[in-house]
Amino acid sequence: MTEETPGFEEKPDVPSGATSDDAEPKAAPEEGAAPAGDASEAAQTAGLTAQLDQVRTALGERTADLQRLQAEYQNYRRRVERDRIAVKEIAIANLLTELLPVLDDIGRAREHGELVGGFKSVAESLETVAAKMGLQQFGKEGEPFDPTVHEALMHSYAPDVTETTCVAILQPGYRIGERTIRPARVAVAEPQPGAQTVKAADEADTAEDKESGGPDEG
């Protein structure tokens, strides 16, 4: 029976080829060194960021293209609607222009008292339909002459007018909205030559009389 010697501990057996350094634990890596996995993740993140920027750029371009197409479509719709209205107005104007001689005959018959019976009913129905389509008659005696809507067929002088005035409507004018399809054919009168000078002198004498207290008494 073997007795253990007090104060001595048994050491583990060390292989013959191993040194004492191999038996000691290896030192931990230094804290400042970055692992290889972190560099790989950073490169992958940079690549994803670049791809995301490309996608955002492409999305912005496609959005701009869509907005441009939408604006062009809206402009196209407005042009089509505007052209449709213009074509409709031209067609109505052409139709009503062809009816103007008939309306003139109706007006002359009314002036001579011949618009009676069934002819009166038909004439009034035709005038009502023309008015619903936007036809408006214009031209009245006593209104100032406007060369943009009046056509002067007769000319004279009158002492009782202060400007060129329509004194007779020979043929009424017609318009659709702001568009004149036929000017009013009128007879005009201008102030009598020299009448304005005499009138101005009379007004000046009247003003002087008022300032002086009235005309002198005999």
What is the model's pLDDT at position 36? Answer: 60
Check residues 53 and 22 and name the one with the higher pLDDT.
Answer: 53
What is the model's pLDDT at position 11? Answer: 53
Q: How far apart are CA 113 and CA 122, in angstroms?
A: 15
Adjacent-strand bridge partners of 176: 135, 179
What is the model's pLDDT at position 165? Answer: 94
Q: What is the pLDDT of residues 128-185, one digit of tens each?
A: 999 999 999 999 999 999 999 999 999 999 988 999 999 999 999 999 988 899 999 9
Phi, psi of 125 (to 5 degrees): -65, -40
Q: Checking phi first, is residue 169 left (phi over 0); if not, alpha (psi -120 to 50) or beta? A: beta
Q: How many CB atoms lie within 10 A of CB 141?
A: 11
Q: What is the pLDDT of residues 96-122, one digit of tens each?
A: 999 999 999 999 999 999 888 889 999
What is the model's pLDDT at position 8? Answer: 46
Let me know the angle formed at the C-alpha of 171 by 166 and 176, rounded to the nearest 5 degrees. Answer: 100
pTM for the whole structure = 0.56
Adjacent-strand bridge partners of 185: 151, 171
Q: How far apart are CA 64 and CA 79, in angstroms?
A: 22
